[in-house]
Amino acid sequence: MNTLYVPTPRHFSFIKDGDYVYNFRLLDMARYTDSLRMVAARSLSLDVRTYSRLALSSMRRRYKIRVPRKWSWQLSQYFCLPGGDAGMFETDAVLAYERYPINAKVPVIWITGPTEIPKLKSRGLSDAAINEEIMFKREASSLAAATVLTTRHKQRLFDEVIRPQKPTCVIPFFLPIESAPRHRVEEKWSNVETLRLVFIGRAAHRKGLPLVLDAFRKLIKTHPGRFSLLVVSSLSDGHIDIPAMPGLRHEREVSHARAIELMAQAHYLLMPSVLESYGWVYTEAMAQGTIPLATDQPVQRDLLDDGRAGLLVERDADEIASAISQGVLDVDGARSLAFRGYALWHAKYAPEVVAARFAELAKATKAVGVM
């Protein structure tokens, strides 16, 4: 058995940021494999340093206060592991997500992402700031015992831009959820008199809710009575008028467990986002035997196996409606697509599969010294 130390602060559940939450999800890997023991950080100094930076980041973003970037919390930055944490003395490796522990005394398995220069420029970052990130990732990847990217596309971008000294590897995000039992998926797809659609996303504009509403309007006109739509969104990035239409319901907020349950009840998950750096919800949908619909972009092509495990569409209401209407016109084809996604989840994205991949990587890096 290998022991991995995850340098997280103490968890506050009211913080919903995905990058923040993911650190705590990593600790669940021990539940899915006997080959790993996970140790959480227990350090007041780490708590204070992390949450101070998060607070400064919030002030910088919300109130436009001129806080230097190096003082705020960034994904691409070094940080120091707490020297007095007892957990550090019983670990084989550090498992670090995005931020890199500069003072690690054992091998580091580093999960990171590429530097997407056009995206960073669109956010207003200067050439100097972008080059600083590139140099950080180049140096950090040379220090790491293993550098992990979450899709093949991200790996290609990382290798092209960062030009790491060592080979990188691909392991999907670890998502500690349970899939729907096969008999429930079969039951769902044997009853398609009404095809149930669901949209789940707080940032409704960015995740494409206006397009979904337009597509649903077209679907109920073309196929009356054959579709329902549940919208789960707090509309956090701006108000959207959700019209009264037959079969349409709106819930503002649900727990993560409830969101999984709603996906298990649905036939399609619709999320034609402007941009998704990954999209956990697509793989979560596959785990429930639900067909995910995503914008046709490189990362989502990787996740959905080039459209063999879900629907890849342009951001157009007519195209979305046309893709979904195949569930009425070709029920057998839709059912087969759902089961291909369900099979892909179990082969590639299930928590026991991903945990086993990290266990193998931890074993391979155990003998590697700090460089």
pLDDT digits over 49-77, tens only?
888 888 888 787 777 777 777 777 788 89
Q: Would you place residue 19 in the very low, low, confident or very high pLDDT band (cuts 50, 70, 90)?
A: confident
Distance CA 105, CA 205 (A): 45
Tell me, what amino acid is at 104? A
Express each pLDDT in 323-358 by its tens digit. Answer: 999 999 999 999 999 999 999 999 999 999 999 999
Is the domain of 145 the same as that of 239? no
> Which tokens is 32 given?
């899915």
Q: Which pLDDT belongs to residue 87? A: 74
- CATH code where residue 279 lies: 3.40.50.2000
How many domains in the chain? Answer: 2
Q: What Å distances lie between residue 313 and 207, 241, 251, 273, CA to CA?
A: 13, 24, 25, 10
Distance CA 143, CA 128 (A): 23
Q: What is the mean pLDDT of residues 123-151?
A: 94
Q: Which pLDDT belongs to residue 324? A: 97
Q: Which pLDDT belongs to residue 124? A: 86
- CATH code where residue 68 lies: 3.40.50
In a domain, 160, yes or no: yes
Say if residue 320's pLDDT is above 90: yes
pTM: 0.92
The more confidently predicted of residues 75 and 218 is 218
Say if residue 368's pLDDT is above 60: no
Express each pLDDT in 145-170 by its tens digit. Answer: 999 999 999 999 999 999 999 999 99
Say if residue 369's pLDDT is above 70: no
- Of 247, 230, 250, 225, the closest CA to residue 239 belongs to 250
% of the chain surpassing 70 pLDDT: 99
Is the domain of 165 the same as that of 193? no
Say if residue 264's pLDDT is above 90: yes
Is the domain of 109 the same as that of 186? no
Is the domain of 156 the same as that of 201? no
Is the domain of 102 the same as that of 55? yes
Is the domain of 167 the same as that of 275? no
In a domain, 371, yes or no: no
H or E element that contains 270: strand 268-271
The more confidently predicted of residues 89 and 177 is 177
CB atoms within 10 A of CB 269: 26
Is the domain of 186 the same as that of 241? yes
| Cβ-contact 218, 321 below 8 angstroms | yes
Is the domain of 33 the same as that of 163? yes
Domain that holds residue 59: 2-176+351-365
Q: What is the mean pLDDT of residues 225-253?
A: 95
Is the domain of 119 the same as that of 230? no
What sign does the dihedral 330-333-336-342 (CA atoms) show?
Answer: negative
Is the domain of 251 the same as that of 140? no
Is the domain of 344 the same as that of 356? no
Q: What is the mean pLDDT of residues 202-228?
A: 96
Distance CA 91, CA 88 (A): 6
Sheet containing 291-295, strands listed edge to edge, beginning at the edge strand earlier in sequence:
248-251, 227-232, 195-200, 268-271, 291-295, 311-313
Distance CA 280, CA 349 (A): 10
* Rg of the Cα atoms in the chain: 22
Burial of 225 (0-12, 13-18, 19+ CB in 10 A): exposed
In a domain, 370, yes or no: no
- Of 250, 170, 172, 175, the closest CA to residue 209 belongs to 250
Distance CA 365, CA 360 (A): 9
Q: Which of 74-83, 98-107, 230-239 has the lowest mean pLDDT?
A: 74-83
Is the domain of 153 the same as that of 198? no
Distance between alpha carbon 27 and the CA centroid of its chain, in Å?
16
Q: Would you place residue 370 in the very low, low, confident or very high pLDDT band (cuts 50, 70, 90)?
A: very low
| Cβ-contact 77, 53 below 8 angstroms | no
